[in-house]
Structure 1
Amino acid sequence: MNELKKYIGTKIKDYRKELKITSVELGKLSNTSQTTISGIERGDRFASFEVMIKICEVLGITLYDVLPSEITKNLDLNLLDRNDERINIILSTMAPEDIEIAENLLLNHMSFLKEFNNLTPEAKEYLTKFIHSISDK
């Protein structure tokens, strides 16, 4: 587990330095303390899922970008093993830009999807209609 923390911390630090921002700036932009950012970058601690999403959004990356490839390969295989046919059918009907939006939603807004899933059927229908109304051209 310590190796994973160090790996993620190093990746966060590398992406931050690429953007030429300080850990203080990253903390402010992600609504996280500089102490938390430093702890993550040193590999001393994990952040909550929500904090990691915020940090990744500020850095312009996804959670996949900070995870070791052996973990992301396993995640991809597990997902495809369970739902490969269904996912492939859905993806085959989508335009490339819609696939990017879906990927972004899945990787960066999982908390929204979880909350959406907890809504009543009526609330889901209302929200879905609202989203369609503002996104239809």
Structure 2
Amino acid sequence: MDIKKYMGVKIKEYRKAMKLTTMELGSLSGTSQSTISEIERGTRSIQVESLAKICNALSVTLNDVLPISASQEKTDASYPPEISQLTNIISSLSSDEVRLLTDILLKVKRLPQSDRESLKSLLNSLMNNKL
């Protein structure tokens, strides 16, 4: 598979995981719907700046959509321990649980910082009370 097709497949996978239409992704990334469709089909080249905007709208990194050779692949050791732990927990969840967790995290990410802090306090309080 060539690089354009590979990136298109990955972008489409992430877009569908977020339950976005090509129109919605285009709006979030400042890209036209037709361009998103062409990118997903692998029929259009993309500028790095545009790819970065699309990745940002999908809450993924450029590395998530670019093909990586086996020698460049990240290992768990390259991540902070918290990320490795989270990755292990997520890998043990069902697809439905992962989708739910993704939806929750995306909603939290979109909250203003003050609301995030309030939510963090509430969750810490609940965990300390073992609820």
What TM-score range do you get, normalising by the shorter chain? 0.5 to 0.7
How far did 1:72 drift?
A: 7.9
Change (3 A) 1:61 1:23: same
What are the residue-to-residue correspondences of 1:97-108 with 2, within 5 Å? none
- Per the normalisation by structure 2, the TM-score is 0.53
Aligned partner of residue 36 in structure 1, secondary structure: helix
Change (3 A) 1:37 1:73: same
What are the residue-to-residue correspondences of 1:68-107 with 2, within 5 Å? 68-70=67-69, 73=72
Cα-Cα RMSD: 2.0
Change (3 A) 1:28 1:4: same
Q: Please list every run of at least 4 consecutive aligned residues from structure 1 whose deviation after the TM superposition is greater than 4 angstroms.
A: none
- Matched with 2:2 is 3
- Per the normalisation by structure 1, the TM-score is 0.51
Matched, 1:30 2:21: no
- Matched with 2:99 is none
Change (3 A) 1:31 1:9: same
- Matched with 1:108 is none
Q: Report percent identity of matched pairs.
A: 53
- Matched with 1:52 is 51
- Would you say how many aligned residue pairs link Structure 1 and Structure 2? 75
Task: Tell me the distance in 2 between the aligned counterparts of 1:71 and 1:22.
Answer: 32
Task: Tell me the distance in 2 between the aligned counterparts of 1:68 and 1:23.
Answer: 22
- 1:92-120 alpha-carbon deviations (Å, 9 max, x no partner): xxxx6xxxxxxxxxxxxxxxxxxxxxxxx
